[in-house]
Structure 1
Amino acid sequence: MRIDLLESTLKELNGSTADIEASALISVDGLLITSAMPQGMDEDRVGAMSAAILSMGERASRELARGVLERVLIQGANGCIIMTSAGPEAVLTVTARANAKLGLLFLDIKRAAQTLAQAL
């Protein structure tokens, strides 16, 4: 079943490194498709913010002639949020620890986004 593949892909992504704390697949409308998030995270809020931020990133990339958007990275004192497209209809959002090795995360996230895009 398709939802099983989506869920297993997120769980596999989360298990690929201890640095990933949560992941979610969100429609471009901001609706949660599936997630692997700890209890207490507001899924609706994550969905709405992810869709809005990725949309703004795509617009900025286009308007400032930076080419096709690959990812949006938000770094805070307590960690980072990485968003990338998972096909034309979805956004993959990942939260990670502050000391995460970003190069490895980007690679794992890119692979997961490709798998998710194919499954959608």
Structure 2
Amino acid sequence: MRIDILESTLKELNGSTADIEASALISIDGLLVASAMPQGMDEDRIGAMSAAILSMGERAARELARGALERVLIQGSNGVIIMTSAGEEAVLTVTAKANAKLGLLFLDIKRAAQTLASQI
């Protein structure tokens, strides 16, 4: 796995729309693998929270018979956080502006997650 290739994919995702503010690829145990984040974001905190939240989302989807988890969306007054699996061993976390067009974001994120999964 080459970190520069993963980071290039994340930067490409961030550049796909002005609405995306940051993205990170995180191992399922919460360690940051690669990122395209602005200065000042706490990478360790983002990694730990992303892994925990995605794990809880998968459990909730399974226990409530909702099928395989596609994504977790957290929507706040200042923006959104979207998490999705990138293969069996990683989580793609993206932060975006509050007024982002979610349908387009979901499509771009799904494509990037598939690309990242093939690169891991």
Aligned twin of 1:112: 112
Aligned twin of 1:72: 72
TM-score under structure 2 length normalisation: 0.99
Aligned twin of 1:43: 43
Aligned twin of 2:83: 83
SS in structure 2 opposite 1:21? strand
By how many angstroms is 1:66 displaced? 0.2
By how many angstroms is 1:108 displaced? 0.2
By how many angstroms is 1:4 displaced? 1.7
Cα displacement string for residues 44-77 of structure 1 (whole angstroms, at most 9, x for unaligned residues): 0000000000000000000000000000000000
Runs of 4+ in 1 over 3 A off after TM superposition: none
SS in structure 2 opposite 1:22? strand
Identity %: 88
SS in structure 2 opposite 1:114? helix
Q: Indicate the RMSD between aligned Cα atoms, in angstroms.
A: 0.7
By how many angstroms is 1:2 displaced? 2.1
CA distance in 2 between partners of 1:4 and 1:94 (Å) = 18
SS in structure 1 opposite 2:23? strand
Aligned twin of 1:4: 4
Gaps of 5+ in 1: none
What is the number of residues matched between the two proteins? 120
CA distance in 2 between partners of 1:88 and 1:10 (Å) = 18
Aligned twin of 1:30: 30
Gaps of 5+ in 2: none
CA distance in 1 between partners of 2:49 and 2:42 (Å) = 11
AA aligned to 2:38 is: P
